[in-house]
Amino acid sequence: MSPDFEEEFLRQRSTNIHELSNDPLRVLISSAMWIDGGYWFPYAFLFTVFLAQAERWLGTVRWLIVCVASHVLATLASEGALLGAVRRGLAPESAVNTLDIGVSYSLAGVIAVLTYRIAAPWRYPYLAAVLVFYGLPVLGDPTLTQCGHFLSVVIGLGCYPLVRGRGKTRNPKETLATPRG
């Protein structure tokens, strides 16, 4: 695609305030089908390491609930906060058209919910790493996307009732010590 066509194509699938106001269901679904920037290899790696493992553990329905809840709730909360900032004059009016696409909110929520798959005490360093990775950017001068990612992590952690009792937790020490043959 030409850069101009690509930008318009993605803008129509963006979960920005303008598109959410016009057709929220369409953009919430279509936005989650795209990756920002066109670099698919890191996403293929992350999908394999996190999303596939979570779906295998949770089953498709529960995994999808975590994905949808993270994507939809973080999008609505972050775009709602941006709308409030625009209305109070803290953000420019043009912010209603900010490009906001991608599956990264779902990915962040799933990465967070996998905390419950790891046995203690290993779960705590994992959780700390997730909170640092997604939380540090919010402490500076956060962007809409950084806030959305952190909200997705909180939402993923809030999905504990969905994952409670979903099989034995994994102990990395035992997994690494088990001989394969």
Task: Encode pLDDT of 134-154 as tens digits.
Answer: 999 999 888 888 999 999 999
Q: Find the helix or strand (DSSP H, E) in which 8 lies.
A: helix 3-11
Question: How far is C-alpha 166 from the geometric centre of its chain's CA atoms?
Answer: 22
Range 55-67 average pLDDT: 95
Model confidence pLDDT, tens digit, residues 15-55: 888 888 888 898 888 888 777 666 778 888 999 999 999 99
Counting Cβ atoms within 10 Å, is residue 142 exposed (0-12), middle (13-18) or buried (19+)? Answer: middle
Distance CA 88, CA 73 (A): 22
Segments making up each domain of the chain, as ranges: 40-90+103-177
The per-residue pLDDT for 175 is 59
CB of 108 within 8 A of CB of 134?
yes
Say yes or no to pLDDT of 111 above 60.
yes
Residue 58 clears pLDDT 70, i.e. is over it: yes
What is the reported pLDDT for 30? 81
DSSP string, 116-181: GGBPTTTHHHHHHHHHHHHHHHHHSS--HHHHHHHHHHHHHHTTHHHHTTSSPPB-HHHHHHS---
